[in-house]
Amino acid sequence: MAMIIDGKKVSARIKEEVRQEVVALKEKGVKVGLAVIIVGDDPASRVYVNNKKKACEACEIYSEEYALPAQTEEAELLELIDTLNKRNDISGILVQLPLPKHIDEKKVINSIIPEKDVDAFHPVNVGKIMIGDFDFLPCTPAGVMELIKETGIEISGKECVVIGRSNIVGKPQAMLLLHQNGTVTICHSRTKDLKEVTKRADILVAAVGIPKFVKADMVKEGAVVIDVGMDRDENGKLCGDVDFDEVVNVASAITPVPGGVGPMTIAMLMRNTLTAAKKMEN
């Protein structure tokens, strides 16, 4: 039976560390502030934004929310970002994705100055992650790395397999594992003999967006399995990309859904916002 990696516990510890540093900065007269922009009324996005607001309160980070109607023009959104870029009391800017179809997502991401891009989606920050000289890490992959660290397993020299190649999770996740000297394979919808590849993994990260996609016969005995997925099963119940009930009997350590990677993503956002404030101060 696998060790269950408790993302709630680890995230609570990180948020408390952030809170202590935020308080120390406040005493020096430095404000740590996060601006969150949401366009439209996507229910999942609203849940994420509310969770971010709660985390800011827990970490004593000043936050502003801009809830814009779905019909907001692209120019208006870019103007708001430009204003926030120039404000000294805002350390980080986050635009909740997805955006309505008439707004160019790439243009919006590129309009946030790299120093305030706490999601680490700007091409400058992506490039820095590639060469291993970064200020911020994308929140979900950074959270995954913290959870692997929690297991006590050494990444160096291990076979690491990432299922999924998105710009937000899959690609940066592979880079972070590579920086820790893992031997990394990225799998995707065109991968041949997927099961053969995943069965080699000492560390398996599933970020494919398909409910219960990873079955026990795809996992090496004793592997560490990190489930990035946030899906709903046939009964509408929250589940991940890994069939937890099957894989828990094969893996040595596994993250649950919910309560695994999800809380970590927001904790790492808080850490990035703090980092941005410290860099601005210097």
Tens-place pLDDT, residues 131-166: 999 999 999 999 999 999 999 999 999 999 999 999
Name the residue type at position 144. Answer: V
Q: CA-to-CA distance for 244 and 265, rounded, in angstroms?
A: 20
Q: CA-to-CA distance for 111 and 190, rounded, in angstroms?
A: 33
| φ, ψ at 111 (rounded to 5°) | -80, -15
SS3 label, residue 54:
helix
Question: What pTM value is reported for the model?
Answer: 0.95
Tens-place pLDDT, residues 217-248: 999 999 999 999 999 888 889 999 999 999 99
Proportion of the chain above pLDDT 90, given as a percent: 95
Quote the mean pLDDT of the chain.
96
Give, in degrees to the nearest 5, the angle at Cα 87 between 131 and 60: 80
Q: And the tokens for 28?
A: 């020096």
pLDDT value for 44: 86
Q: And the tokens for 67?
A: 């809830």
Confidence band for 200, pLDDT divided at 50, 70 and 90: very high
Q: Is the model more confident about 44 or about 72?
A: 72
pLDDT value for 1: 85
**Which residue, chain included where needed, has tokens 């202590």?**
20
pLDDT value for 68: 98
Dihedral-angle region of residue 239 (phi above 0 means left; psi in -120 to 50 means alpha; beta otherwise): beta
C-alpha distances (whole Å) from 64 to each of 19, 32, 51, 82 are 18, 11, 13, 15
Q: And the tokens for 199?
A: 């069965």
Confidence band for 61, pLDDT divided at 50, 70 and 90: very high
What lies within 8 Å, CB to CB, of 44 at 6+ separation is none
Confidence band for 170, pLDDT divided at 50, 70 and 90: very high
All domains in the chain, ordered by first residue:
29-113 (3.40.50.10860), 139-262 (3.40.50.720)
Q: Which residues are catalytic?
A: 52, 96, 119
Flag whether pLDDT at 282 surpasses 90: no
Confidence band for 169, pLDDT divided at 50, 70 and 90: very high
Q: CA-to-CA distance for 27 and 244, rounded, in angstroms?
A: 45
Name the residue type at position 29. Answer: G
Sign of CA dihedral 237, 7, 271, 184: negative
Q: CA-to-CA distance for 23 and 13, rounded, in angstroms?
A: 16
